[in-house]
Amino acid sequence: MSHPMFDLTGRRALVTGASQGIGHALARGLAEAGAQVVINGRDRARAEAAAAGIPGAEVLVFDVTDHEAARAAVDGFEAAGKPIDILVNNAGIQHRAPLQDFPAEAFERLLQTNVASVFHVGQAVARHMIARGRGRIINIASVQTALARPGIAPYTATKGAVGNLTKGMATDWARHGLTCNAIAPGYFETPLNAALMADAEFDAWLKKRTPAGRWGKVEELQGACIFLASDAASFVNGHILYVDGGITASL
């Protein structure tokens, strides 16, 4: 039997970008811990297909880069008597190119999707959490919150910002009963990394560079998310939890 501290029964969790990859795995994990999950993505059909595999899951379709859309979707949901107790800001994108050739448009899109979204959705949800005096926000950062790698300098900048925005959220909102933390994943097998997984040279490098000697499986992020969403983490605030097979611990 699991410890009651980790039981999420009766809590509602919105996970952005949950139609596939890490977000979908986190939604599944939260649901297995008892939460009622809400799947977000831009594509309704894909979000509904993802929700279909999770008992009791609902769908809330909006673009996380759109401040007004996020506010309207969250306010509408709350007005319908569906308070959001847990928010996982997971939606994110990647673009790989040498920095000297990096398209300005791609840089802007990364900023909007990976950082501004955390502000847009975080603020929309936190307003209601603050009124209730409780809530959990979990932002998905990256090993790139701490480390750079060739070809992804703008992504690294966005994930560094996610780490500091998490600390800022905790600093402003802890007094209102919220906890705001980040999970920083290492390299996981998801569609976002399809090109890297198909690259034999990168695959060999990663396995050598990672103390655990392998890629992560998305299910291995579920425990960290359940912990940060649960009563077990009630005094954990502004923390960045690396789940990376030891990469950031080692040269």
Task: Give the residue numbers marked as catalytic.
Answer: 155
CA–CA gap between residue 127 and residue 220 (Å, rounded)? 31
Tell the smallest beta-carbon distance from residue 124 to ligand NDP (Å): 13
Kindly state whether residue 87 participates in binding ligand NDP, applying the rule CB under 6 A.
no
Out of 22, 115, 137, 152, name the contact with ligand NDP by CB under 6 A.
22
**Per CB under 6 A, 185 contacts ligand NDP:** yes
Query: Minimum Å distance from CB 249 to ligand NDP?
Result: 16
Of 7 and 66, which CB lies nearer to ligand NDP in the complex structure?
66
Task: Name the segment binding ligand NDP (CB under 6 A); options: 7-15, 90-98, 203-211, 224-232.
Answer: 90-98
Residues 6+ apart with CB under 8 A from 161: 114, 115
Candidates 14, 19, 87, 179; binder of ligand NDP (CB under 6 A) is 19
- d(Cα 208, Cα 214) in Å, to the nearest integer? 8
Residues 244 and 185: beta-carbon distance below 8 Å: yes
Nearest distance from C-beta of residue 193 to ligand NDP, angstroms = 5
> What type of residue is 207?
K
187 binds ligand NDP (CB under 6 A): yes
Residue 222 lies near ligand NDP (rule: CB under 6 A): no
Among positions 6, 32, 34, 46, the unique one binding ligand NDP when judged by CB under 6 A: 46
Short-list 80, 88, 44, CA closest to 62 = 44
Return the residues of window 91-120 that contact ligand NDP according to CB under 6 A: 91-93, 113
Tell the smallest beta-carbon distance from residue 176 to ligand NDP (Å). 25
Find the binding residues for ligand NDP in span 117-136 (CB under 6 A). none
According to the binding rule CB under 6 A, does residue 90 interact with ligand NDP? yes
130 vs 196 by CB, closer to ligand NDP: 196
Give residues in contact with ligand NDP (CB under 6 A). Answer: 16-17, 19-23, 40-43, 46, 63-65, 90-93, 113, 140, 142, 185, 187-188, 190-193
